[in-house]
Structure 1
Amino acid sequence: METRSLMDMTLVSGAIEPCVNTGIGTSSDKANSNSIAGQPVKKKKAMTSLYLKYFETASDGKTRRCKFCKQSYSIATATGNLGRHLNNRHPGYDQIRDTAEVGPHTTIANDSTSKSLSSIQAKPQIDRDLINWFLLKFLINASLPFSTLEDESFISLYKFLDPRAKIWPREQAEAVSLQVFQSMQEDVRASLQNVSSKICLTLDFWTSCEEILYMSVTGHWIDDMWHMHKVLLNICHIAYPCSGPEILYALTRVISSFDLDMRIVSCTTNNSQQAGHACQLLMEQMDSQKRPFFYIPCGAHALKMILEGGLVNLKPILSKIREFMIEVNSNCDALEDFKQMVALYQEGPLKFPIDTSASWNGDFTMLDLAPNAVDNTMKKHEETIGGGCSLTLPPSEYSAINILHQFLDQFYKTTTNLCTTKIRTVGLVLFFIDHIADLITSCRDDSCQDWLKTLADDMYNRARSFTGQVYNGFTFMCAILDPRIKRELVPDALNSDKNLEEARGFFLREYSKNNNHFMVITSNGFGGAHESGFSSSIENTDAVSFAEEIARKRRRSNISLTKDELSQYLTEPPAAMTTDALDWWRANSARFPRLSIMARDLLAVQGTSVEPDELFTSRGEDLHKRRYCLPFVNVRPVLCVSSWIQSGYKFRLGPTEIDFDSLVETGVGKRG
């Protein structure tokens, strides 16, 4: 399809109508231009009218001459008369941007020269239409509803900037955004056709202000150069009652629309019962067609649930501290006093402004605040902070905060590491969860505080509930293919000989031959008596041909070599935790030609269904605000197009790519 620039495209009909400004107004002439004979002429003030720039003063200083037609007027002629001359003789004179360019042969539009006026007006008309495209992109990037276009203050702003500019009606902007969405979705679909590896899905759910449940479906894969990719496929409305069958219906439509039926291998969900039910139904469908498919719960959601269990008893205290810090952040005097107290008591360092979000990072920040600085600032500003209520914490509450802060410090480091890690493989996520479980067990066994032991028991039960769902042969395979994890760092409850044998069977069956990649699988997804490439009719025949005997020897040799790849890989020590797992496989794929194919497929399986910082930092609150307020008609065009632009896809309407950066540079260059 031929790609054209925006300047070549036919602009949306009705977007901008030609607007001709025939003048900037005419001043009333209250002064008599003819002097009364016999009376002294009063000295006049220097004229500063806008009309004067279109006239030049003669060398004798007694007359002014029009720059267009050279007609002369007395120096005493009122500016109102000069304005009438311009309006009557030279309509369109105000479209000339630089009066220095005006010469004796300059043509200004009138009834006989409308073509010249059209050429003068052409560029401003295009620029005003481009304003709507930039406005459309602004609304999409900011995730604003298109009803913003109907806001009176917004319209007034545009009229102030350019009275001739016309903003697209909301309905037209919505129609154009939908066309952009459809055009860019075709680009996404086309790009996925070139992916040679398996594609892994993640699901995220949220509810809008209209109480509509949405599901975003994202695809992840690793390319031939061992680079990880992800792209939002679609955002689906989940019909009431929003249970497993409704989620399954929406999910299968997305899979089919992108022709992924034979190419997906896994789906990571948000741990909700309804999403798990939908994935279970999908796995049963795939299994009936002898296609492998697995689903796992999200490690980040599980970790968030564990942390919420650790903070449940301190929520009232955290709320009190958060209320105090929100007011301090908004009060310059109180904030300055707080900073001085922090320095005085040598408490900190603290990062200002203090994170007061309701996220896990915000909660931990509340636990980490300087107690003396908080206490003294509260006392000094108790009349202006807290609405007249005392926010001072008693010693018992400070003691509980200090104990819990020490206990949760390792949790904070873990979540921070998880948020900043570029490639979050299943093995790495399970490694972190296992570390958290060990910390909880140690606290439960060693703590002298009964309330802390009770809290640790609740956190431990939540952790084990997750591991009971996620530990299976498939996650074992994904974990050991991370060269930093292998078997040495796989959690003990997952690191069983049974799982290893299932992994071997899966590897031999699916990856011993490239042309049999993911074609046959048993009912439980692992092991089984079938081996790809073997004909059951020949196996049951007593008389085996000479050619078949040779073929069997070669197959056994191939399987032996394949098995040795896995054995050799597992016998080597794990790589350092600072190693990039994909870089390691890029450097070692030649040593493990078949195992590397399996690694490329399974390392794309996501250990979390969303970016961890969406759950543990204030970014999650920002994302919720952006999605929550969007009406149904704007959700897909706004959120999908915004995500696709961030993923590197071009903003496109039909065959036309709209390069906003180039348009800005071109506009600046022309104005310069």
Structure 2
Amino acid sequence: MLQYIHRQSHGKLKIPSQKGVHERILEMETEMVDGFQAMFKENTSNFAISLDAWTSSNGHAFMAIVIHYISNTRKLEECLIDFRELIEGIDFDEKNARMRCLPHTIHLAALKLLESVGALTKEEAARANSQSSPYQDAATEDISSSQDDLAVDHEDEPEDWTEDVTPNSGVIGRAVFKLRKIVHFVWSSPQQRQKFRQEVLKSMNKGETLPGIATMLILDVRTQWSSTHQMLCCALGFKDPIDNYTACSLREHELNEQEWEALKHVMDWLRSFREATMQMSATKHSMLSTTHAVFRGLQDDIKNILIKLPNDLDPTLKNGLVEAHRKLSDYFAKFDKSNYYHWAALLDPCISYTMLLDDYKDDPDLHGALELAKASLESHFETFYNTPASSQSMISSSTSQDSQRSPHKNFASRYTQKRSSATAERNELWEYFRQTAEPANFEKTDPLKWWNVRRESFPNLYRLTRDVLCIPGSAVAVERVFSGGRDVIGIQRASLHAQTIRSLMLVKAQLRLQHKAILDIVGDL
């Protein structure tokens, strides 16, 4: 193939040997490590680390380590610095410096909802919690008609389709059990699929609007709550075809109106979890302040849904949503163990102290936690960042320029030297809160660009903000590495050694960085 493509070229095609490719990859790995060492020395900001463990398809356990930082060009960057095989367990006891992945917390709350309403057993929920696959992949999985058509043409039954299941207690448990039976029966043979398609066509002939997301029913993977949401979305769109189909073939699994209504409630609730996860995971850079805001929005959304629930709703459904909200609240309380969540929100000009104070005004505990976080931020700023280093360097540079322009002496310098620089620098934080008393537009303002424009007005506070806002709010960067690992370790590469996999993953990350750098240069032009 290479020879054919190269046939019109005048030069001779040189295809590197297997040994040559291997040596070049190792050279690129060495160059990458050297580049990281130089970057660590030159960059003036601190670094945040996100890490997670993953088991490859050929049985090797790896830990991916991704760093997040704001470069000297004042851009938020992230890159894979190591992909190392795990031989023994790693103890990590720095609780005050550990950030929780907020999308994963949503993942746990959604599973708690399905378990509480009876759509999942405790064993299935436990298996879902222990899944090694990236949960963001499931939450952002495409459910378009083109994706579903591929499944329709597949003759084999999914491995998760089992017959030995019994209906769980509660209306939603029975409804989900029946729906899974119906979908399983439709997919049991080409004849049954064709029969269901005929019911769909009849509904279309009646002028009914059918969902455009899929052309065939979907069976969920019980360890992925988002696939349950997709199954419910598709089934509710095909309500009449399903009713007509079960009336002819599966009378014992017919869904009554109460069960359809219960399925709709759960689908709407899961949509909130799905959209929150996608909003956190789909962002280019998931800053801690942004994910914190989305998490609070999800809490409020679930709270409002609970308030509006009808009194005659099945108690199992109510209790399930209450359990999910309690799971979110429990984890939000754990977030308070680290100051960085509130610090990131306080230093985000789109949120700042004003918006947090308004958000927490009805909760004395949260209001008290906010005041403590604000005080600790001031103390941390005074202790570690409110130094004359940056501001003094700016003053000295301007003074040296003035001295070069004029030989005259400044006999009033005794008063300028004794000016309370500490008070002025401490006022950087106060001045920032004053300027953000009316926060910037959340949708239109980039916090990093906002701070970049004002870095000379807040030289010391900018250094603190730079170190806080680079902290990621989710493990999306690490999960992205794991998703790419499946491309490296395919069926034909199942015998790769762990060190070879590490080299390939590091080189792949380096090539991605080089490609991004080219795009940045082209974009600047």
Taking structure 1 as the reference length, what is the TM-score of the superposition? 0.52
Q: Is the 8 A contact 2:61 2:85 kept in 1?
A: yes
Q: What residue number does 2:77 align with?
A: 229
SS at match of 2:420: helix
Which residue matches 1:413?
275
Partner of 1:512: 386
2:374 partner letter: L
Distance 1:323 1:443 in 2: 32
C-alpha distance in structure 1 between counterparts of 2:90 and 2:315, whole Å: 40
Quote the Cα distance in structure 2 between the aligned partners of 1:342 and 1:578: 44
Once the two structures are TM-superposed, the CA of residue 402 in structure 1 deviates from its matched residue by: 1.0
1:350 maps to 2:153: no
Matching residue's letter, 2:342: F
The one-letter amino acid of 2:111's match is E
Distance verdict in 2 for CA 1:601–1:514, change over 3 Å:
farther
**Partners of 1:215 and 1:235 within 8 A in 2:** yes
SS at match of 2:289: helix
Structure 2 contact 214–234 (Cα < 8 Å) conserved: no
Answer yes or no: is the 8 Å Cα contact 1:486–1:574 preserved in 2.
Answer: no
Match of 2:409 in 1: none
Aligned in 2, Cα 1:381/1:221: closer, same or farther, shift over 3 Å? same
Q: Distance in 2 between matches of 1:278 and 1:382?
A: 59
What percent of counterpart residues are identical? Answer: 15
In the alignment, does 2:35 pair up with 1:187? Answer: yes
1:461: which partner in 2? 326
Which is richer in helix?
A: 2
Is 1:213 the counterpart of 2:213 in the alignment? no
1:301 positional shift:
1.0
Match of 1:394 among 252, 255, 275: 255
1:451 aligns with 2:316: yes
Measured in 1, the distance between the counterparts of 2:68 and 2:185 equals 43
SS of residue matched to 1:573: coil
- Which structure has the larger Rg over C-alpha atoms? 1
Letter in 1 for 2:119: L
Kept in 1: contact 2:68–2:77 (CA 8 A): yes
Quick one: structure 1 residues 570 and 648, their matched pair in 2 at CA, closer, same or farther if it must change by over 3 Å?
same
Please say if residues 66 and 477 of structure 2, whose CA atoms lie closer than 8 Å, have aligned partners that are also in contact: no
| Mapped pair 1:279 → 2:94 | yes
Whole-angstrom distance in 1 between the partners of 2:374 and 2:350: 17
Q: Counterpart of 1:589?
A: 455
Distance 1:402 1:191, change over 3 A: same
1:163-562 alignment runs, 5 A limit = 168=18, 177-209=25-57, 211-240=59-88, 242-244=89-91, 277-280=92-95, 294-312=97-115, 313-315=118-120, 317=177, 337=198, 340=201, 343=204, 344-350=207-213, 358=221, 359-371=224-236, 373=238, 376=241, 394-395=255-256, 397-447=259-309, 448-471=313-336, 472-490=338-356, 492=360, 493=366, 496-513=370-387, 515=389, 553-562=419-428
- Aligned pairs for 1:632-643 (under 5 A) are 632-643=498-509
Residue 61 of structure 1 is matched in structure 2 by none
Seen in structure 2, the aligned counterparts of structure 1 residues 595 and 372 have a Cα distance that, compared at 3 Å, is closer
User: Does the CA-based 8 Å contact 2:182-2:253 persist in structure 1?
Assistant: no
Partner Cα distance (1:564, 1:402) in 2: 49
Look up the match of 2:171.
none
Provide the TM-score with structure 2 as the length reference.
0.65
**Per-residue displacement from partner, 1:100-146 (whole Å, max 9, x unpaired)?**
xxxxxxxxxxxxxxxxxxxxxx965x53x24x5xxxxxxxxxxxxxx
Quote the residue 1:254 is aligned against: none
Structure 1 residues 443-470: Cα deviation after superposition (integer angstroms, max 9, x where no partner): 4455332112221232123212311221
Which ranges in structure 1 are unaligned for 5 or more consecutive residues?
A: 1-96, 99-121, 133-167, 245-276, 284-293, 518-546, 652-672
Secondary structure class of the residue paired with 1:506: helix
Deviation of residue 198 (structure 1)?
1.5
Are the structure 2 counterparts of residues 596 and 516 from structure 1 closer, same or farther at C-alpha, using a change threshold of 3 Å?
closer
- Tell me the secondary structure at the aligned position of residue 368 of structure 1: helix
Return 5+ residue gaps in structure 2 as ranges: 1-6, 121-175, 361-365, 392-412, 518-525
Paired residue secondary structure (2:63): strand
How far apart are residue 216 of structure 1 and its match? 0.6
CA contact (8 A) 1:232 1:640 kept: yes
Instruction: Indicate how the Cα distance of structure 1 residues 641 and 418 shifts in structure 2: closer, same or farther if over 3 A, else same.
Output: same
Give a deviation string over 1:312-359, Cα, whole Å, max 9, x none: 332454755775797899999579657646744313242568887745
Sort the Cα spacing of 1:559 and 1:399 in 2 relative to 1 into closer, same or farther, 3 A: same
The offset of 1:231, in angstroms, is 0.5
Give the Å deviation of 1:480.
Answer: 1.1
Aligned residues, how many?
A: 410
Cα RMSD after superposing both structures:
4.4
Tell which has more relative contact order, 1 or 2 (C-alpha 8 A, sep 6+). Answer: 2
SS in 1 for 2:514: coil
CA deviation after TM superposition for structure 1 residue 195, in Å: 2.1
Return the letter of the residue paired with 1:500: K
Deviations 1:79-106 (A, max 9, x none): xxxxxxxxxxxxxxxxxx99xxxxxxxx
The equivalent of 2:133 in structure 1 is none
